[in-house]
Amino acid sequence: MAEAPDLGAAGPRTGFVAIIGRPNVGKSTLLNALVGEHVSITSRKPQTTRVRVLGVLTRGAAPVTTQFIFIDTPGFQRRHRTMLTRRMNESINAALRDADVVVMVIDARGLTAEDRVLLDVLPADRGNVILVLNKTDALADRDQLLPRIAEAAARYPFAAVVPVSAEKRRQLSDLLVEIERRLPAGEPLFEADQFTDRSLRFLAAEAVREKAFRLLGDELPYGIAVTIERWSEDEHRAEIVATLLVDRDAHKGIVIGAGGAKLREIGRLARLDIEKLLGKPVYLQTHVRVRRGWSDDARALAGLGYE
């Protein structure tokens, strides 16, 4: 394993930390746990994250602060091939280019073929790649970790290996220590209280998409995108109109549900999250509209922020 650089004298450190891995290993859950805010949406279905999202954690008091700028990426995958999934894989490459440290996440219960492909395409001279074995809470026996670490380490020269549970927030401080010692010296790029680069509008649209992902059946969510049509707010309340775009006529009714029940529940849960985000009551209206083929349409993708 490579030695961590000794950065010596105390001073501010700031760096980009890319979180990569196959779909569903818990990258977004890990980012949210590290930052302490619900920055990136999560679900038990693969391919939840579509664009890179920054989550910022600033620790220490000025002038000796450390700013971790985490880049959550879509899960690297080769199965579904649309323009959207190509853009998703491209955004992983961009994150790798920008990152000072890379956190590669696998499931502690074992490596899959997709993990192995990703390990094989990661440049071996990349340096500063930390292996995280997530979901240790789901392991029957911690001894199972050792053969998995051995297999991954035989495939890639990791700088460090840290088993964690993002969900139960276990061993996250060990991970932060390993990351921090590899961050370059530098002044913070974000204000200490800023936790993402994304707008409130984007976070609100994602809150709606998260609930749709969680409440709808297995195939449906991949054809769904969310746009914010209207946003008005004063100091006491906000009024937001969100539209769920589906790519097939048949899906519209499923999203709405019997008597509108499904859409109402998506809206109710999303509203609770958005109220937390804005710190005031929110009146959220939701609509469903059919837009065929949006996931293969460059203009539609750009308009939805998937660039």
Contacts with Mg ion by CB under 5 A lie at 27-28, 48-49
Of all residues in the shown chain, the one whose CB is closest to ligand GTP is 75
Nearer to ligand GTP, 72 or 180 (CB): 72
Q: Is 243 in the site for ligand GTP (CB under 6 A)?
A: no
CB of 18 to Mg ion, least distance (A): 13
Nearer to ligand GTP, 96 or 166 (CB): 166
**What's the CA dihedral at 47, 51, 54, 55 to 10 degrees?**
-30
Q: Which stretch binds ligand GTP (CB under 6 A): 27-35, 56-64, 188-196, 229-237?
A: 27-35
CB of 248 to ligand GTP, least distance (A): 22
With CB under 6 A as the rule, give the number of residues binding ligand GTP. 24
Asked if omega into 63 is within 30° of 0 (cis), the reply is yes
Among 14, 34, 56, 74, binds ligand GTP (CB under 6 A): 74
* DSSP per-residue codes, the chain: -PPPP---S---EEEEEEEE-STTSSHHHHHHHHHTS--S---SSS----S-EEEEEEES-TTS-EEEEEEE-PPP-SS--SHHHHHHHHHHHHHHHH-SEEEEEEETT---HHHHHHHHHS-TT---EEEEEE-GGG-S-GGGHHHHHHHHHHHS--SEEEE-BTTTTBSHHHHHHHHHTTSPB---SS-TT--BSS-HHHHHHHHHHHHHHHHS-SSGGGGEEEEEEEEEE-SS-EEEEEEEEESSHHHHHHHH-GGGHHHHHHHHHHHHHHHHHHTS-EEEEEEEEE-TTGGG-HHHHHHTT--
**62: its two tokens:** 């000025």
Among 44, 79, 97, 299, binds ligand GTP (CB under 6 A): 44
Binding residues among 105-134 for ligand GTP as defined by CB under 6 A: 134
Among 12, 23, 60, 157, binds ligand GTP (CB under 6 A): 23
Q: Is 85 in the site for ligand GTP (CB under 6 A)?
A: no
Partner that binds at residue 135, options Mg ion, ligand GTP, none, CB closer than 5 to 8 Å by kind: ligand GTP
Q: Is 49 in the site for ligand GTP (CB under 6 A)?
A: yes
Q: Which stretch binds ligand GTP (CB under 6 A): 45-53, 110-118, 151-159, 263-271?
A: 45-53
Bridge partners of 230, per DSSP, are: 241
Residue carrying the six token digits 């059946």: 217
CB of 75 to ligand GTP, least distance (A): 3
Partner that binds at residue 91, options ligand GTP, Mg ion, none, CB closer than 5 to 8 Å by kind: none
CB of 14 to ligand GTP, least distance (A): 24
Q: Is 18 left (phi over 0), alpha (psi -120 to 50) or beta?
A: beta
CB of 225 to Mg ion, least distance (A): 16
113-121 vs 145-155: helix axis angle to the nearest 10?
40
Among 13, 17, 24, 87, binds ligand GTP (CB under 6 A): 24
User: Do 307 and 301 meet the contact criterion of CB atoms below 8 Å apart?
Assistant: yes
Nearer to Mg ion, 27 or 271 (CB): 27
Q: Is 55 in the site for ligand GTP (CB under 6 A)?
A: no
Site string for ligand GTP, 136-165 (x = CB under 6 A): -xx--------------------------x
Binding site for ligand GTP (CB under 6 A): 21, 23-29, 42-44, 46-49, 74-75, 134-135, 137-138, 165-167
